Amino acid sequence: MKSNEKSLEEIKKEIEFLRREIERHNYLYYVKNQPEISDEEYDALMDRLRELEEKYPQFYDPNSPTQRVGAPPAKEFATVRHTVPLLSLDKVTSYEEFMEFQNRIWRFLGKKVEIDYTATPKLDGLSIAVRYEHGRFVRGATRGDGFEGEDVTANVRTIKSIPMYLMSEEAAKLPVLEIRGEFIFHKDDFERLNEELAKKGEKTFANARNAAAGSLRQLDSSITAQRPLKAYFYEIVYVEGREFETHWEKLKFMEAAGLPLVPYARYCKNDEEVREYYENILRERENLPFEIDGVVIKVNRIEYQRILGQVSHHPRWAVAWKFPSQEAISTLRDVIWSVGRTGAVTPVAILEPVFIAGATISRATLHNEDEIERLGVMIGDKVVVRRAGDVIPEVVKPLVELRTGKEKPIVPPTHCPVCGAKLSKPPGEVIRRCPNRFCPAQIAESIKHFVSRKAFDIEGIGDKQVETLLREGLIEDAADLFTLEPERLEKLERWGPVLAAKIVRNIQNAKRISLPKFIFALGIPGVGEHLANVLAKHFKSLDALRNATFDELIQIPEIGPNTAQSIVDFFADEHNRRFLEKLFSVGVEVEEIREEEEAEKPLSGKTFVFTGALSSMTRDEASELVESLGGRVSSSVSRKTDYVVVGENPGSKYDKAKKLGVTTITEEEFLKLVGRA
């Protein structure tokens, strides 16, 4: 090596220095808005880094600032399972409702103490989870359904306000730090983007949220790189190597790590300060640089958060206090009655089209007859319309004072609007149903259900296609799909030979299906996605489910008498039996469940109840133990209980167990059962 040349070691040092330095300037520019150097100086650093990286490719790093221009287009986003589910938030819309939220907290804590909170604006964008390992950015994922999202690592890398290396020493040494934030467009950036898109003759975005979603979910991340997306973080969802006592501490920690923190965050020492905060933000809403739809309030003390826990979809320690949604006035033109898969007849409002929150609304659900009665709405009324959660259109109320006298009452139909059968309304139920199972509407809806994503998932067959196929007489039921021939499809309007062949292929590929999806696809009344899974897990084969008796079914947790009867009826029905046989005869194959880990766990399917004090462990520890072995713990004895574990000084649960004839075991026997003795 020539003496005037730098050693590799020195090159590596310089590259690393440049990367850190550029990252630091990114932080000063994008997060702090206080650049220390001019654009020219910044460009010079980048040029030098690029030069060195080109010459010494052995020092490649995907997190280098030079890589923030985007990666080659991907074919599709990979799915990633979140380490910790990203929950949504419960919501309130008034101070009274917020106080109910606080009352619930007091109830759960078992004491009425002053609760302190953190409050932040609720950004209206796209939620993301970002993961750092040893201070280094490793992954970005969208929220998705909360459990699984899309891997958008390449896209996230192009957002320059997101550090590739955490700045504080404390954060850099954590093995894992997973944080949650929101991608948004600032209002001015959004307008500028739309102007540019319009100039180029491209489609513009209806609102800033769509722009954020559309920009992030680009398979070609170099497009994301050119969009002025902003990211703001507000939660640490998972961390290894550090404990936090308060949420406020988490926010400060993220800020110190160089992460862009959600602006206008505030500590509130009690509910009164929360109310002030809400009112301030609401007043300032128009002046904020971005769209928000409320404020997020979190219980500050992590200890309380832990005690409060969560329900399936949201934590009990946080709430979104939403602003009133945007409303508009329209005219109720008419009410039509639509017939669903189960024959349920529901009223839909036909409205004079009106633009609200980024979309033109012309229809809105009225839910059911009781709702119409409650609203007291009539055809011809001027009505207030809003988008619930800024999504689903909803009639809020009629403007009675604007009535002309020409309004007509809304009369629920006595006969099915599709097939003319007389509707039935069981006593005590709110919904009217069409009893005709051969009603064209029910047939169409059940086929749509059958092909939908969570059932047979046949790509290329959607609502429109099902209707066309039915209208053209190519199918009469879902089983007919599997014998469709491309030659017949081609003749349909707008279905070329290529498309027809592709759809037939998709249909054939869907023939093999997992048991839970198959059960869901059948559309048994009362059995949705969740119960389909429960049933599949329990019976493991379609035959076992088909032959299940009412008594067997009600033994299963979550299956009560109503659902059990519905399932028995479904499989007893001659027409349904023939339909199943037809499915098999056209080649549908249901995969049975293999003996899974879950099933092999020693306590799976067993329910435990504890009564009295245990000597070797606490109730909580015992519960955890049972659950880790696949069992369930319940707090009261029922005939579904398998074991009642009787400790010191048992209570009434012991008597109840005796009465119901449920097995009781001592602590020693319990320990033997779980393999601890």
Partner DNA sequence: TAGCCTCGAGTTCA
Partner DNA sequence: CTCGAGGCTA
Catalytic residues: 122
By CB under 7 A, name the one of 225, 394, 504, 673 that touches DNA: 394
Nearer to DNA, 171 or 593 (CB): 593
By CB under 7 A, name the one of 537, 619, 640, 656 that touches DNA: 640
Contacts of 93 (CB under 8 A, 6+ apart): 321, 322, 324
Position 471: which residue type? R
Residue 425: name the closest of 337, 345, 347 by CA.
Answer: 345
**DSSP track, 365-387:** E--SHHHHHHHT--BT-EEEEEE
For residue 346, state whether it binds DNA (rule: CB under 7 A).
yes
Report residue 576 as tokens: 């349904």
Question: What distance in Å separates the CA atoms of residue 447 and residue 519, rounded to the nearest whole number?
Answer: 14
Residue 119: name the closest of 245, 209, 247 by CA.
Answer: 247
By CB under 7 A, name the one of 11, 288, 348, 379 that touches DNA: 348
Residue 537 backbone class (left: φ over 0; alpha: ψ -120 to 50; beta: rest): alpha
For residue 396, state whether it binds DNA (rule: CB under 7 A).
no
By CB under 7 A, name the one of 85, 315, 340, 413 that touches DNA: 340
Residue 521 CB, nearest approach to DNA (Å): 11
Residue 93 CB, nearest approach to DNA (Å): 9
Angle of CA points 169, 172, 176, to nearest 5°: 145
Nearer to DNA, 175 or 353 (CB): 353
For residue 312, state whether it binds DNA (rule: CB under 7 A).
yes
Nearer to DNA, 68 or 433 (CB): 433
Stretch in the footprint of DNA (CB under 7 A) among 135-143, 266-274, 383-391, 481-489: 383-391
Residue 418: name the closest of 433, 403, 400 by CA.
Answer: 433
Residue 10 CB, nearest approach to DNA (Å): 55
Q: Which of residues 61-90 bind DNA (CB under 7 A)?
A: 88
**b or e along 645-677 (b: 16 or more beta carbons within 10 Å of the residue's beta carbon)?**
bbbeebeebbebbeeeebebbebeebbebbeee
**b or e along 175-209 (b: 16 or more beta carbons within 10 Å of the residue's beta carbon)?**
eebbbbbbbbbbeebbeebbeeeeeeeeeebebbb
Number of residues that make up the chain: 677
For residue 363, state whether it binds DNA (rule: CB under 7 A).
yes
Residue 519: name the closest of 534, 505, 504 by CA.
Answer: 534
Question: What distance in Å separates the CA atoms of residue 78 and residue 148, rounded to the nearest whole number?
Answer: 10
For residue 331, state whether it binds DNA (rule: CB under 7 A).
no
For residue 445, state whether it binds DNA (rule: CB under 7 A).
yes
For residue 563, state whether it binds DNA (rule: CB under 7 A).
yes
Question: What distance in Å separates the CA atoms of residue 393 and residue 46, rounded to the nearest whole number?
Answer: 49
For residue 557, state whether it binds DNA (rule: CB under 7 A).
yes
Report residue 137 as tokens: 């950015």
| Distance set, CA 264 to CA 119, 253, 278 (Å) | 8, 16, 11
Nearer to DNA, 96 or 558 (CB): 558
Cβ neighbours, 10 Å, residue 134: 15
For residue 528, state whether it binds DNA (rule: CB under 7 A).
yes
Q: Which of residues 87-126 bind DNA (CB under 7 A)?
A: 88
For residue 582, state whether it binds DNA (rule: CB under 7 A).
no
Question: What distance in Å separates the CA atoms of residue 467 and residue 461, rounded to the nearest whole number?
Answer: 10
For residue 430, state whether it binds DNA (rule: CB under 7 A).
yes
Stretch in the footprint of DNA (CB under 7 A) among 185-193, 307-315, 485-493, 495-503: 307-315
Stretch in the footprint of DNA (CB under 7 A) among 14-22, 243-251, 258-266, 422-430: 422-430
242 DSSP assignment: -
Stretch in the footprint of DNA (CB under 7 A) among 8-16, 127-135, 386-394, 470-478: 386-394
Stretch in the footprint of DNA (CB under 7 A) among 67-75, 429-437, 478-486, 578-586: 429-437
For residue 634, state whether it binds DNA (rule: CB under 7 A).
yes
By CB under 7 A, name the one of 15, 123, 179, 364 that touches DNA: 364
Q: Which of residues 246-285 bind DNA (CB under 7 A)?
A: none
User: Is the distance from CB of 516 to CB of 496 less than 8 angstroms?
Assistant: no
User: Is the distance from CB of 160 to CB of 230 less than 8 angstroms?
Assistant: no
Residue 485 CB, nearest approach to DNA (Å): 30
Residue 173 CB, nearest approach to DNA (Å): 36
Bridge partners of 415, per DSSP, are: 422
User: Is the distance from CB of 185 to CB of 208 less than 8 angstroms?
Assistant: yes
Mapped onto helix, strand or coil, the DSSP state of residue 359 is: strand
For residue 549, state whether it binds DNA (rule: CB under 7 A).
no
Residue 630 CB, nearest approach to DNA (Å): 16
Total chain residues near DNA (CB under 7 A): 58
Nearer to DNA, 90 or 116 (CB): 90
**Burial degree of 219 (CB within 10 A; 0-12, 13-18, 19+):** middle
Residue 517: name the closest of 533, 506, 534, 540 by CA.
Answer: 533
Nearer to DNA, 187 or 640 (CB): 640
First-to-last alpha carbon distance for the chain, in angstroms, is 69
Nearer to DNA, 635 or 663 (CB): 635
Instruction: Tell me which residue has tokens 């590799």.
Output: 8
Residue 362 CB, nearest approach to DNA (Å): 4
Residue 85 CB, nearest approach to DNA (Å): 12
Stretch in the footprint of DNA (CB under 7 A) among 73-81, 191-199, 353-361, 621-629: 353-361
Q: Which of residues 19-48 bind DNA (CB under 7 A)?
A: none
For residue 311, state whether it binds DNA (rule: CB under 7 A).
yes
Nearer to DNA, 53 or 182 (CB): 182
Residue 368 CB, nearest approach to DNA (Å): 6
Stretch in the footprint of DNA (CB under 7 A) among 188-196, 366-374, 469-477, 611-619: 366-374
By CB under 7 A, name the one of 523, 608, 645, 654 that touches DNA: 523
Residue 100: name the closest of 87, 110, 88, 91 by CA.
Answer: 91
For residue 392, state whether it binds DNA (rule: CB under 7 A).
yes
Question: What distance in Å separates the CA atoms of residue 105 and residue 318, rounded to the nearest whole number?
Answer: 10
Binding site for DNA (CB under 7 A): 88, 206, 311-313, 316, 338, 340-344, 346, 348, 359-365, 367-368, 370-371, 388-389, 391-394, 428-431, 445, 523, 525-532, 557-564, 634-636, 638, 640
